[in-house]
């Protein structure tokens, strides 16, 4: 046959040499892929037992400062509220105290002003009695003397007029107050409204009777 020898010698055109070289290159590439250099190991920065390494004081301070600034951006906060927030984030007490002291020095935290603001806004929005306001300020961690100073913004007369206004707004115009049973039920309901705002029952009852008298409702 043309192009081949009778005893099986390879073709004279060199195709066998080229095929051999191609196979050799393929084997070398496969070997290189299979035995490539291992990836460099990632340094283990974990602490004992696989836990993250402890934070430095500087790192804690930076995190705590960010927490405080975010909280204050949402609105005024008392020192006690901010301390609770730092405790929730497990900021070390010594670092939390030092940072809160610093915020007070630059007047970013001012419990006296916070208390005054709280009394003004809660009185305007909710018509709360001084009793309820005092309790809320205590829940915010405001010292009693600062709370009493803030509560001086509301006088006895202010509180009385405020309670009368609440009763007038809550009085049901559809109620037939000429009916004794209906009137007594309405009185109890209105006394309950004032009681939930912190007015003592005796004062609340007197204020409700005053308002009903102003409307011409018979006693």
CATH number at residue 136: 1.10.10
Structural domain harbouring 99: 56-109
Q: Which tokens go with 194?
A: 């004032």
Are 140 and 190 within one domain?
A: no
Give residue-wise pLDDT tens across range 50-89: 666 788 989 999 999 999 999 999 999 999 999 999 999 9
State both tokens at 84.
Answer: 């609770």
Q: What is the DSSP letter of 155?
A: -
Comparing 178 with 121, the larger pLDDT belongs to: 121
Report how far Cα 27 is from the mean position of its chain's Cα atoms.
63
Q: Shortest CA distance to 132 belongs to which of 215, 203, 90, 195?
A: 195
The pLDDT score that the predictor gives to residue 108 is 96
Q: Which has the minimum average pLDDT: 82-86, 136-140, 173-177, 191-195?
A: 173-177
* 51 domain residue, yes or no: no
Total number of domains constituting the chain: 3
Determine, yes or no, domain membership for 39.
no
Instruction: Give the Cα separation of 24 and 130 in Å (integer).
Output: 94
Residue 60 and residue 90 in one domain = yes
Rounded mean pLDDT, 181-194: 94
Residue 57: closest CA among 105, 88, 93: 93
Per-chain mean pLDDT for the chain: 84
> Are both 176 and 201 inside the same structural domain?
yes
Evaluate if residue 217 carries a pLDDT over 60: yes
For the question of whether the overall pTM of this predicted structure is more than 0.75, the answer is no
Give the per-residue pLDDT at 117: 97
Question: What is the pLDDT averaged over residues 192-216?
Answer: 93
Take residue 203 and report the two structure tokens written for it: 């004062």
Q: Which residues contact 127 (CB under 8 A, 6 or more apart)?
A: 162, 163, 165, 166, 197
- The better pLDDT of the pair 1, 155 is held by 155
Report whether pLDDT(118) > 60.
Answer: yes
Q: What pLDDT is recorded for position 49?
A: 56
CA 118 – CA 128 distance, rounded (Å): 11
**11 Cβ contact list (under 8 Å, min separation 6):** 3, 4
State how far the Cα of 174 lies from the Cα of 177, in Å rounded to an integer: 9
Residues 134 and 163 reside in one and the same domain: no
Q: Please report the pLDDT score of residue 6 as a whole number.
A: 39
Tokens 């081949």 belong to 4
pLDDT over 90 (residue 216): no
- Model pLDDT, residue 219: 60
pLDDT range class, residue 24, cuts 50, 70, 90? low
pLDDT band at residue 2 under the 50/70/90 scheme: very low
């Amino acid at each position: 046959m043309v192009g081949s020898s009778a005893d099986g010698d390879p073709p004279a055109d060199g195709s066998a040499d080229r095929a051999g070289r191609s196979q050799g290159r393929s084997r070398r590439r496969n070997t290189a892929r299979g035995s490539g250099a291992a990836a460099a190991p990632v340094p283990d920065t974990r602490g004992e037992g696989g836990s993250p390494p402890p934070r430095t004081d500087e790192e804690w301070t930076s995190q705590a400062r960010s927490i405080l600034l975010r909280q204050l951006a949402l609105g005024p906060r008392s020192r006690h509220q901010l301390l609770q927030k730092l405790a929730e984030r497990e900021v070390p007490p010594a670092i939390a105290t030092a940072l809160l002291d610093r915020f007070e020095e630059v007047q970013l935290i001012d419990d006296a002003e916070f208390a005054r603001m709280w009394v003004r806004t809660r009185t305007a929005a909710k018509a709360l009695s001084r009793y309820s306001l005092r309790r809320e300020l205590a829940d915010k961690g405001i010292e009693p003397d600062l709370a009493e100073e803030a509560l001086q913004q509301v006088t006895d007369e202010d509180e009385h007029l405020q309670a009368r206004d609440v009763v007038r707004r809550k009085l049901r115009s559809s109620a037939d107050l000429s009916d004794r049973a209906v009137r007594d039920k309405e009185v109890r309901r209105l006394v309950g409204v004032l009681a939930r705002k912190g007015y003592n029952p005796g004062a609340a009852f007197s204020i409700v009777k005053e308002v009903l008298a102003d409307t011409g409702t018979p006693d």
